[in-house]
Each structure stands twice: as C-alpha cells, then as structure tokens.
Structure 1
C-alpha cells in the first residue's frame, strides 16, 4: 500500500535440492615491489577484497571499507548474515515487520526507504529487490561466509540502481585443494526458538562440492508472530590455476504470522500483544547461479548468470472482510566483465569494464509489472606512489531502464510504459603522507529508480515517478598499525527527486530536494594480549533543503547511533564477547512537517556471548537485549503504527566440527 508496507511472503512449494559450483581464480601477477608495499595496508588483517567486482589485489582494497571476517562472525556468535552486519559491522537496523531475522539495514540515514538505497551483493550477484522488501539474507548459510565487506557512500558506477547509501558485499568461502570440513549446529532458547543446521564441503584437486541444510523456528516476542524457515544451499566447482567455473542453488521456504502495529497506549499496556491475531503469510524463494572467472593473456574474464523465482502469499483479516493475495516474481541477471591488472611505467593499474543486464517481472491476481535494464560501466584505478600508497580512480556508468505496469481491474487503464536513462560517475583518491596514516576523498553521482510497488501508488495514477539522483561527497582519514585501526569520514548526499511515501498525499512521490550529511567513525584497538575493543559511531543530519518542508528533519532517521564491542579471546578454548548499541530519538514515520509533539524514544541494548571448546565441540550461551528493554525502531504514525522490538532472548547452542 505504501513505501513502508510489508509485502507478505509467498505460496507453498516444495524446496528443490541442487548443487553449485564456485571456482578459485588465479590472482594477477604483481611485482615484488608492489607486493611489499601492500604489506603496510595489511597490518591488521590481511584479506582479499573484491571492491572492483573481481578478486582484487590487497593494494587496491576499497578505500575506507569495513571488513567482517569469518572469525569475527564466529566470535560474536551470530547465526545469520543480517545479524553479523548489525552486530559486528555496526550498521543500524530496524526490527523486521514479519518476525524474520532480516532487519531493514540503513547505510547513511535513509529511513523507511533504507533498503532501496543500498545494494547487497552475494558473490557478485545482486540480491537487492525491485520491490518494497528487504533482501533476504537469512537464507545464506552463515557457515559458508568467508567475509562481509561494507563500503559506505555512493557506488552506482559499479553497482547501479540504489547504491547511494553504499554496498554490502558478501563473499563465501573458496575451498583449498584436498580439504574437507563439516559441522552440525543446534540451538534452543526463549520464545520457543530453535535452530538445527548441518553443512559439509569436500575439495579434491580441481573439484569441490558443498551443501548446507537448516531449519529454524521461533514464536518471537509478540503474540501471533511465529516464524519458521527451511533452507538449502548446495554447490560444486571445478577450478585450476587459470580460473573457475560453476553453479549454485539456494532455496528457502518461510512461514510467518503477522501481529500488526500498535498504538502508543497499546504498547504501554502490553507491548507483546497482537493487533491482527489472524494475519499470516508465506514466502518461497529459489535462486540458481552459474558463474565463471578465467585469466587469459593478462586479462581477467568473468561472468555471472542468475535466475531467481519468488512466490509471496498473504492473508489479512479486518472487520467485515479479508484480503488474500498471491504474487510471483522472476528475475534474470547477466553480468559479463573484464579486468586488466598490470603495470604502467612502474605503477600498478587496474581497468575494469562490464555490462549488467537484468529482467524482472511480477504477476499477481490483477496487476502485472516488468522492469528491464541494461548498463555499461568503466572504471580505472592507478597506484602512483608506492612509498606513500597514492591512489586515484575514476569511473562512469550509463544505464537504461524500461518499466511497464498494468492493473486494469483497479484503474481501468493500461497503466504506464516508460524508459529512463541515467548516468553515474565517481572520482576517488587516497594518499599516505605518514606511515599508517591515509587521507582519502570521493565525489560522484548515484541514482535509483522507483520500484514496481512505488510506481503502483503514485499521486497521479499510472504516471511513473522520476528517477532519484544524488550528488555524493566524502572526505576521510584512516590510521592503522599492528594493534589499532581507526577510520573517520565526513559525508554528504544532496538528493533531487528523492523517492518516498508521503503520508499527507497517501502516495509515493518525488520529494522536494533533500540531503543527508554527517560524520562516521570506525575504530578497533587491541588493549591487551587477549582483549580487543571496537566501535562504530554515526551522526547524520537528514532534512529537506527546499520546498514547503525546508529545514524539516526526515522521518525515521536517528541523528546519533553508537555500537561498541569488547572481546576476550584467550588461547585456552574460551571466548567471550559483549556489545552495546545506543540509538538516538527519531521522528515518527508520518511526521514530515515535524508537527508531532513527541519523538520515538531513544534506546540502549546489550548483548553477550560466552563459548567454550572441548575438542571438536563448542558450547555457547548467548543473550540479546539483556536488560529486557521495552523499545521500538519502527513506528509509522505520530505515537502509533508501532512494531515492538524483541525482548530479552537467551540461547544455548552446541556445535560439532568434523
């Protein structure tokens, strides 16, 4: 119905089982001098970064990126990717409306449309939706994740539509030759929560296969908020010193109960109650990907072909009637690309060019929607000073969208059919004037187009919204040595035609000019041999900069968020981890003119985990919202439209590795 409405999940279907192939490409050759220079940037945790949509040389890692390793994930004890991004990566997330672990992630303070202003990528394949729904990360087996890279700020040159807030890149493990690993995981806890997961992988000399099967369920904190999910992921791969080729299947089935929103009075009386005790939904999702990467005559060639099908069912009940709906959506993506990594006059140079093609379509009882896009991008990065790690890059992208929509039963018209062409560009530079100290900057233009749900409810029926454009600027400084690392950045997004739901018009609209500007700080410090502390702080000022609401604050954007973690990792099989998050007060979702006399209250929550290993076994006790704080992060009316956040959750788990 609007830009914050939950589009409930889909019809029952049997999960198919399949396999997938991944391949380990050979790295580009770099001179010994370049390799030695790269060591300075790797003082904390040497990892391979894919900032250019290829397995990149560490000397060309994304500037200012946050990297979450598999060890970070294990130590924090998170059981899904979304939680890892929030708990370890410091990304603010809002409670999901359907009881799933897939919180709305927010990079840069984009409020109710945060999921539409960031791009999530899994092994090179875009997961972000062309609908008003979040990317489904809970179906990605956490045991298969090698690292998660969080790049904040505009990135439309490489990733296209919706990358104004940034990019979250999830990279799964590539097995080494002749290796084998597996695990069995079980967990139980409060609110009838339970999870069981088994995974295994085997690699030979040139071939590898893996599979993961899992099931989880919980009643959640509120009444009528049960959530169940069964998932399967499997793959296989052939690889050699020149490259890799393969395919992967991921499937999931979700069933959920939908408790609805509460008024402030209802929340105060009993935050666990349901306002819609009979509403429910289901979702089926299947994704099949074929991918390859090969090195030929000094060039890296890569391509991904992905097919995804999703079915959503929903049943809503109200006084005097009900609403039952089903929709099916399909998406095909094809992304061939090429890279040349080599030396020019003794300087390391990386040139990347590629094409992104996609087709998305959705059918429902009365309405059909389709979007096709084709894009070309080119990006060049040069490392011009080895001693001071000077880097400069530039890139451009051109993308054309063809969108159509038809809902004759509702509007008795043929809907709309529109083509929209958009350009993105970026300039980046960094320099290390002193050992370990790097200054960097980025300027560019990013964009997003309205999705099918937004274009279905506009102020003028059957008239598609204009594309949203953003002028992006970032300046920052980073310092790292063997025991500490800190990155600070100033950012600004000046947006025109921002796409948003306007509660005064009861429609999705192009807003008057808006802006997001602020400051971010990431820091980590080893304070003793066994102890480390990390923190992420964000200040964001989000407001209108012209029009009738000039100077008014945007809704559902906290000015300040702070998360911090303390980790204990002695070498005796024990680990402990405790974290805190503080979120400032924020405007209610409908408060465009800032006339509501109240704000959503700020809140602070704590979580912790203790684990102990005994041989191949690990046992852990973990807790979320340890003080049982009553709070909410989603509220779409002035002191109303409230979706209660989870209460205290305690869990006990066991893992066996073989």
Structure 2
C-alpha cells in the first residue's frame, strides 16, 4: 500500500482502496422488494434481471463453496475457489492484488469490482478492499473474464467481478457472531444483524481485525462499520447506506535476494507506517414504471490516507510525511426494458455514469491539487430465442468523456489540463449446439485512462495516452451441477498500455505508455461429484503476455506467470462434519524490472496447500484451518532483477467459532 505517491516508493507499494462494507444493504431490500417485483437475479447488465440472461461465460462461486473452503474473506474466496491469481499485498492487509488474464502489477487497474451492482473500484492506484465485506453475507460471486467497458467503463479489459449478497426472509431477523484466532497474533471479531418488517428493513455489521502478520514490522489493524435502511413499496424500493473504515499498517519494505534467503520474515524499513480513514454515504432507488425499470445510485466517498517514511540523510534518520484527502461523487441513473416478443426474450439497458473526483496532497515533496470528471452514456441490447436449442445475441456501445487537471509547484511532474473522449463496443453470442453443450463468442473494444497517480509521475510532458484493447474470446461450456467443464480461448491486443517502466526517467522509473502488447491464452475449468459425499474442482490458466512491437518486441511482460493451476477436494457427508483441501500452483515469471528479459533468473514457481475441517452442531460451527501448510518460502512480488522482493506469507493455523441466530 502507498500512503504517499513518492516516486522513490512507487516500486514498493500501492495505496489502499476504500474499505467498503456493503454487507447487507441490497440483501435486506431485495427480500422486501420481492413483494412487488418478480424473483430475479443480479446479472452483468447492471440490473436485477431474468435468470435466463445470466452473464455469458461467467464463473460462479456459491455460498456453499465459500463456506466449505473456509474462505476468510471475499478476496480469498476468489483466489482459492475461482482460481484467480493473486499477489501478496504489500501493506499487510488480506487484499491481495487479483489478476484476471495476466496484467501484472497493474491488474487492479484492468479489472472492475462491483458489490450488488455498485462499482467498488477506485480512481487511484489501489485495490478494492474486499476483505471488509462479511463473507457470511455473500450469496455468490460471478467472475466475468474479458473486456466489459460498455457497461462498466474504463478499466474493465481484464474483466469484472460481481459480488452478490444473500437475501433474508421478509418479516424476519438474521444475525451472526464470529470469532477467529491464529498464529502471528491474529484476532478477528465480526457481528451482523438484519431486521425486516413488511416494507422496511434495517441492518448493521461491524468488524475488528488485528494481526502481526508473517513478517516483522507488518502489523495490520482494521475496524469497519456498515449500516443501512431500506423501504420497499409497490413497484420499487429506496434506501440509504453509510460505511466507515479505519485502518493502520506497518510497512516492512522489500528485501534483497540474500536477505530473503537468510530470513524472509525480516523488515527492511522498520519504522515506515501508514493509515487510512474512509467514509461513504450512498442513496439508491429502483422503480418500475409500466414496462420499464428505473434505477439510480448517488454516492459520496471521502478518503484520507496518511504515511510516514524514513530515510537516511547525512547520517541522520529523516521522516517524510504525507497526507492525501480525496472526495468522489458518483451518480448513475439507468433504465431497463425487459419484454417477451414473439417467443423471444429481449433486454434493453441504457444509462449514464457521472463521476467527479478531487484530491488534495500535503507532503514534504508535493502540495498537489488534482481533479477528474467523467461523463458516460451507454446502451446494450440482448435477445434470447429458440426452442430446445436456445441462442442469445447481444450488442452494446459506450461513449465516455474525461476532463482532468492538476497543479503543483513542488511536484516532479508538469501540471496538466486535458480532455479525452473514448468509445467502447461489444458483440456477443451463444448457442446450445447440443444438449448440455453451449458454444459462445465475444468481441469488443475496451479502454483505460491513466489515473492521477500515474499522471502525477509520468514519462511524457502531457498526460498519458488512453490505453485501448481489441478483445476476442471463444468458449465452450458443457455439463450440469454434478459434472461439467468449460474452456475459453482469449486474446487482447493492447495499444498504449499504461505501466510503470523502471528504466524510464534515467533509471528512476516513471509511468508510461508501452509499445504494443498482447495477452492471449486459454482458460479451463472443471468440476465433478465423484461420490455421494465428495466433490472435486479445478482450473488452469495459460496466458502469454508479451510485447508485439517496439524495442522489446517478443519479450515477455513482467510479473505474469505463464501458467496457474488450482484444484480443490471437498468432503460433505451431511452429518455436521465437512472438510476441504486445495492446492494452488503458479509457474515462473519475470522480475518486475526485466522488460528486456535480460535478467538471468526468474521468480520461482510455487505450490501452496490449504485445508479446513469444520463441525456444525445446531447454530454453532467450529473450525480449524491452515494456509500454506508446507510453509513454502516464495514471492509473488519482486520489482528488481532478483531484488525488491516482498515475501509471501508462511504457514498459518487458525481456529474459529461462529454462531448464527
């Protein structure tokens, strides 16, 4: 995590995303709204919609799978069960950097995360803080790989992750208490309560986590609160939600190869610290008017990040302090028309996204004021038809305009004032070629714009050019819940990819637009019930990330494993006992500075194993779980040639108790 955007620290950390706990908001209101609205599921169209229009080619993680695997948070569930590769967080938080389709250290900027349809991804160099979402409230997680800029705007080239919370029964109460403790001083307490009465619902959740973590000087503390109220009425619902998060981190810094070999737990920066305060207020409404559904969210997020870094100057220890205060306001109205037409189901979605973001910096090296505004209009239409052999076709387009400006007399980068307009499009289709076999194809154009952190320390006089991608995917899906498999071939042709180049700026590094790059590969998923009480699942991703032109043409992109594999075996006999064991393997990858592929060594491949056993009796559940059971020494983050290493966590054993009421 970066709490200051110091160019000297740019290789060592990332700023933390807003800690959002939208845990029960939509869950409470959805049950109430069901009194007036048909039973629906959230889909990729940013609306609750017909289950027949579920996202094409999506990976779905269910609540049962999450609980069996003992995932402690949403981020861990996406990695362990969904097979998404993740890199160890740099700030001690459990929010690993998730990577869809091999985008390396900028993976979080090439992926959009939503919670009940509301975008969580930030306009800064930060990961979505999924660990603050109570995992017990999650109904399912949909992973949609590939370009999705039409509906979700910039940064959706790698894909979208939808988190959907579960719906409580109307006129009821639900609550949960959970405590967990483990090695490295882990203490995690959580509580949640939701109550509904006819057309009104209240909910609240709190969490408090403390851990010393695997490394020295890597303590992490997180306190969260989320509360909301909703009203359901004939044909619609409305509500208000407030979220509050407070976080403190100790930052141990990177290690050299010798340090890593001798003791990967040691700290290299034993005094560096950071803190983050974030608050978000969201109002939302949904209304059915004739054949149309209308919906909108209005949110305001305030975020303050503070850091203190130490360095040596003339034999003395000098502190460098910084504070960032940012405010983001977002308004997203949209409409949907869902209708049967001559035996065909048609869904038309159109909407507007308006975002205003500002940030003020107070640090020893910068007093920057920066702002960004964006206005977007999008439309998408999908048609489902056919008898026994169902078919679907969809097409959509988006146009978005960005206005950016920044001023800072003390900054390294030149102030700027610019406007950029970008277009995205997509065409998708699928057909049931035979019973239980579906073939689909996707094509489109997605984009990403440089955020304020990237433009704040860039290689060019003007702002960085927008990144664009031509996206293509072919897929085949076979099977049913008991036995199934899917395979996808994909390709992303990128122009002006936005990335940190350590060789720029005289070797100090800078954010820049790369020469043309490409991501292409194959993804395979499979699952099977191999006996009455046993279930096995697994996935494999092979991705070739490389330069296709310029001085590094043919070279591999850095920090992208060519192959990743995960497999899980679950035992659920139905007598209160359950067990789950999983293994994850990531192949070799280039070090972070090795754009020319001249470093004589690579980051080694690594296999980690986790397991969980649980026993449930009445409303109680007791469990013991272990991570990295073989205590593998490895890294997923190393930013120099065999240097700048951030060690991954060692073995950890945890015990937990949970009470549902």
TM range (shorter): over 0.9
**Alignment partner, residue 483 of structure 1:** 482
CA contact (8 A) 1:20 1:235 kept: yes
Matches within 5 A, 1:12-51: 23-24=29-30, 25=33, 48-51=41-44
Q: Does 2:618 align with 1:612? A: no
How far has the Cα of 1:144 moved from its partner?
Answer: 2.4
Does residue 99 of structure 1 match 2:92? yes
* Aligned counterpart, 1:221: 214
Change (3 A) 1:392 1:144: same
1:324 equivalent in alignment to 2:321: yes
C-alpha contact 1:20 1:249 (8 A) present in aligned 2: no
CA distance in 2, matches of 1:280, 1:448: 31
Partner in structure 1 of residue 626 of structure 2: 623
Provide structure 1 residue ranges, at least 5 long, that are not aligned to the other structure. 36-46
**Structure 1 position 251, deviation (Å):** 1.3
Q: Is the 8 A contact 1:259 1:276 kept in 2?
A: yes
Distance 2:522 2:14 in 1: 33
Aligned residue number for residue 496 of structure 1:
495
Task: Give the 5 Å matches for 1:239-638.
Answer: 239-320=232-313, 321-365=318-362, 366-410=367-411, 415-461=415-461, 463-505=462-504, 506-638=509-641
1:460 to partner: Cα distance: 2.8
Q: CA, structure 1 residues 4+399, in 2 after alignment: closer, same or farther (shift >3 Å)? A: farther
Distance 1:335 1:405, change over 3 A: same
1:148 matches 2:141: yes
1:274, 1:523 → 2: CA distance? 41
1:40 alignment partner in structure 2: none
Q: Secondary structure at the match of 2:380?
A: strand
Q: CA deviation at 1:482?
A: 4.5
CA distance, structure 2, for counterparts of residue 613 and residue 453 of structure 1: 47
In the alignment, structure 2 segments of 5+ residues that lack a partner are 1-5
Shift of the 176–162 alpha-carbon distance from structure 1 to 2, 3 Å rule, reads same
Superposition TM-score, scaled by structure 2 size? 0.94
The 3-state SS of whatever aligns with 1:230 is strand
Q: CA deviation at 1:250?
A: 1.7
Residue equivalent to 1:112 = 105
C-alpha distance in 2 between matches for 1:90 and 1:627: 20
Partner Cα separation in structure 2 for residue 7 and residue 440 of structure 1: 37
Secondary structure, aligned partner of 2:130: coil
Contact preservation (8 Å) 1:18, 1:235: no
Contact 2:257 2:642 in 1 (8 A): yes
Tell me the distance in 2 between the aligned counterparts of 1:404 and 1:7: 22
CA contact (8 A) 1:8 1:282 kept: no
Q: 1:4 deviation in Å?
A: 4.5
- Structure-2 change in CA distance of 1:10 and 1:377 (3 Å): closer
Cα gap change, 1:19/1:575 in structure 2, threshold over 3 Å: closer, same or farther?
closer
**Are the aligned partners of 1:522 and 1:536 in contact in 2 as well (CA < 8 Å)?**
yes
Q: Is the 2:12–2:253 contact (alpha carbons within 8 Å) kept by the matching residues of 1?
A: no
Tell me how far apart the structure 2 counterparts of residues 479 and 251 of structure 1 sit (CA, whole Å). Answer: 43
**Could you tell me how far apart the structure 1 residues matched to 2:416 and 2:266 are?**
42
Q: In the superposition, relative to structure 1, how do residues 16 and 643 fare at CA in structure 2: closer, same or farther (>3 Å)?
A: closer
Work out the CA distance in 2 between the residues paired with 1:397 and 1:412. Answer: 31
Any idea what the Cα deviations from partners look like across 1:577-631, whole Å, max 9, x if unmatched? 1000000000000000000000000000000000001211110000000000000
Once the two structures are superposed, what CA deviation does each residue of 1:513-538 show, in whole Å capped at 9, x if it has no partner? 00000000111111111111111110
Contact 1:23 1:243 in 2 (8 A): no
Q: In 2 relative to 1, CA 581–548 (structure 1 residues): closer, same or farther, beyond 3 Å?
A: same
Which of 175, 189, 193 is the aligned partner of 2:182? 189
Take 2:510 and 2:267, find their aligned partners in 1: how far apart are those partners? 27
Contact kept in structure 1, 2:228 and 2:242, CA below 8 Å: yes
- TM-aligned CA deviation for residue 557 of structure 1: 0.3
Counterpart CA distance in 1 for 2:141 and 2:481 is 22
TM-score, scaled relative to structure 1: 0.94
Residues 1:591 and 1:83: Cα distance change in structure 2 (over 3 Å): same
CA distance in 2 between partners of 1:344 and 1:437 (Å)? 26
The Cα shift of 1:89 comes to 1.2
CA contact (8 A) 2:36 2:236 kept: no
Aligned position for 2:3: none
Residue aligning to 1:88 = 81
RMSD over equivalenced CA pairs, Å? 2.2
CA separation of 1:550/1:412 partners in 2, compared to 1, >3 Å: closer, same or farther? closer
Contact 1:436 1:480 (C-alpha < 8 Å) held by counterparts: yes
* SS in structure 1 of the partner of residue 381 of structure 2: strand
Alignment counterpart, residue 165 of structure 2, candidates 150, 155, 172: 172
Residues 97-125 of structure 1, C-alpha deviations (whole Å, 9 max, x = no match): 00001110000100010000000111222
Residues 210 and 600 of structure 1: is their aligned pair in 2 closer, same or farther, counting only changes over 3 Å?
Answer: same
Q: Structure 1 runs of 4+ off > 6 angstroms?
A: 15-19, 27-30
* 1:433-483 Cα deviation digits (max 9, x unpaired): 11110000000000000000100111134x100000000000010012241
* 1:206-217 matches, cutoff 5 A: 206-217=199-210
Residue 9 of structure 1, CA deviation: 5.9
SS in 2 for 1:73: helix
CA offsets, 1:487-528, max 9 Å, x none?
110000000000011111011111110000000011111111
What SS does the corresponding residue of 1:408 show, helix, strand or coil?
Answer: coil
Residue matched to 2:656:
653
